[in-house]
Amino acid sequence: MKGRLAVGVVALGVAAAVPLVAGQHLLTAFIVALHAAYMALAWNVAAGYAGQFSLGHSLFYGIGAYASTMLYLKLGLTPWVGMFAGAALAGVVGVLLALGVYRYNVRGIFFALVTLGAAEVAKGLADNWHWIKGPVGILLTMKAAPAEFFFLRREPYYYVALAMVVAMVAISLVLERSRLGQHFLAVREDEAAAEASGVDTHRAKTVAIGLSAALTAFAGSFYAQFYLYVSPETVLTFEPQLTMMLGTMVGGAGTALGPVLGSVLFSGLGEALRNLPFENTRQVVIGSKLVYAILLIVILIYLPGGLITLGRRRA
């Protein structure tokens, strides 16, 4: 326990020192990796711990991105606060979705398809909603306004992303050690046996989706502030969902560090490659995606618990 804490502190120290040595390109890669790790951890709450394999988390990501952005543009509310409003909204939508889905006892593959469908419907609606500028999307202007979550340099974004990941790891660890978290695990393993152990499976699943949705929305708000652009094509497609799943499943679902490991490996390395001065960057980026896809398949077949189990086996 003490040893692990020490490792954690050292890792955090190293992570905090990264901007001192990394250039802006490399820093971008780190930010993308941290952002992906955060998203993966947020999805992991529902999919990894509670076994609710949602394919519609882009919906919550999109809600976060649009909510903080619209609140800022229309009401002048700083995204620092707006992101909490987005999280609350996503949480409510998540709970409502869960209530509907679980009321009809939709499970497993059907649950995955319903959530996927929900995100697709949301994208269709967003594409046709003029108030949020439809498919054109919303551009934010770059400026130096720290109080409004706008920075000109990469470093502040890096520290925000790092803080989000640290907070999310902490939330995961607390969850693992809580009654609620244990209930999540029971639901994931066997709902009938969970009920027989006194677990309100309905409630546990609904809380898992709501919590995971709200946490995912923060990532959406961060995306908007970092890329300064929100559109259905960027935040409501399958892309964010894929990012969450890849990192989580490769690193290890249902653990607090697996999703971080997987995301840093997948998204971080990909982004780093994209920014290196290769002669044919396009081929390198696509080639790396190809290698990742093959790696994903190999890992899932031979290490179904993810890369994190490698370390655990030795320990």
Partner 1 sequence: MIGLDVVVQALLSGLFMGSVYALIAIGFTLVFGVTDIVNFAHGHLVMAAMFVTYFLFKTAHLDPYLSLVVVLPLFFGVGALLYVLVIQRIVEAPHSAHMMVTLGLLLVFENLANLFFGGDLRGITTKYTTSSFVMGPVAVPLARLGAAVVSLLAVAVLGVFLARTTLGKAIRASANNREGAALVGVNVPRVYLVSFSLGTMAAALAGAVIVPFSLVSPFVGHEFILKAFVIAVLGGLGSVPGALAGGLLIGFVEALSSLYISASLGNAIVFAILIAVLLYRPWGIFGQAKV
Partner 2 sequence: MSALLAVRGVSKRFGGLQALSNVTFGVDHREIVGIIGPNGAGKTTLFNVITGVYAPDLGRVELRGMDVTGWAPHRICRLGAARTFQIGKPFAALSVLQTVRIGALNRIDSMAGATARALEVLELVGLAGKRDDLGRHLTVIERKRLELARALATGPALLLLDEVAAGLRPNEIQEMIALVRRIAAGGVSVLIIEHVLEAVMRLSARRGVPGRGLHACLKSRASRWRTATCACSTT
- Closest among 259, 251, 203 to 57, alpha carbons compared: 259
Site membership for partner 1, residue 108 (CB under 8 A): yes
Residue whose C-alpha is closest to residue 18's, from 162, 198, 153, 144: 162
Taking the C-alpha atoms of residue 221 and residue 84, their distance in angstroms, rounded to an integer, is 9
Pairing of strands 229-230, 138-139: antiparallel
Q: Would you say 51 or 79 has its CB closer to partner 1? A: 51
**Which residue bears the tokens 């006194």?**
198
The stretch among 62-70, 170-178, 269-277, 284-292 that binds partner 1 (CB under 8 A) is: 284-292
What is the rounded radius of gyration, in angstroms, for the C-alpha atoms of the chain?
19
Q: DSSP H helical segments within 128-200, as ranges?
A: 154-176, 179-189, 191-196
Q: Looking at 8-16, 46-54, 193-201, 212-220, which segment touches partner 1 (CB under 8 A)? A: 46-54
Q: Does 193 bind partner 1 (CB under 8 A)?
A: no
Question: Do residues 258 and 248 touch, judged by C-beta distance below 8 A?
Answer: yes
The one-letter code for the residue type at 5 is L
User: Which of 255, 256, 243 lies closest to 296 in space, CA to CA?
Assistant: 243
Report which residue type is found at 54. Answer: S
d(CA 264, CA 48): 18
> Any contact of residue 113 with partner 1 (CB under 8 A)?
yes
For partner 1, the binding residue among 75, 144, 290, 312 (CB under 8 A) is 290
The nearer residue to partner 2, 86 or 252, going by C-beta atoms, is 252
Which of 6, 144, 163, 293 is close enough to bind partner 1 by CB under 8 A?
293
- Asked if 101 interacts with partner 1 (CB under 8 A), we say yes
CB of 45 to partner 1, least distance (A): 15
Minimum distance of partner 2 from residue 168's CB (angstroms)? 21
Contact 98/202 with Cβ under 8 angstroms?
A: no
Answer for which of 125, 142, 163, 193 binds partner 1 (CB under 8 A) is 125
| Interaction of residue 109 with partner 1, rule CB under 8 A | yes
Least Å from the CB of residue 109 to partner 1: 5
| 159 contact choice in partner 2, partner 1, none (CB below 5 to 8 Å, kind-dependent) | none
- The one of partner 2, partner 1, none whose footprint includes residue 112, by CB under 5 to 8 A per kind, is partner 1
Our CB check for partner 1 shows the closer of 97 and 140 to be 97
- The binding site for partner 2 (CB under 8 A) comprises 177-179, 182-183, 185-186, 188-190, 192-202, 254
- Considering only 249, 256, 257, 308, the residue that binds partner 1 (CB under 8 A) is 249
Binder of residue 47, out of partner 1, partner 2, none (CB less than 5 to 8 A by kind): partner 1
Judged by CB, which is closer to partner 2: 29, or 185? 185
CB 230 within 8 A of CB 66: yes
Packing angle of the helix pair 154-176, 201-227 (nearest 10 deg): 170
List the one residue out of 243, 299, 237, 294 whose CA is nearest residue 266.
Answer: 243
Rounded-to-integer distance, Cα 152 and Cα 117, Å? 38
Assess contact for 221 and 52: CB atoms under 8 A: no
User: Is residue 99 part of the contact set for partner 1 (CB under 8 A)?
Assistant: no
**Contact positions vs partner 1 (CB under 8 A):** 47, 51, 53, 55, 100-101, 104, 106, 108-110, 112-114, 116-118, 120-121, 123-125, 127-128, 135, 238, 242, 245, 249, 253, 283, 286-287, 289-290, 292-294, 296-297, 300-301, 304
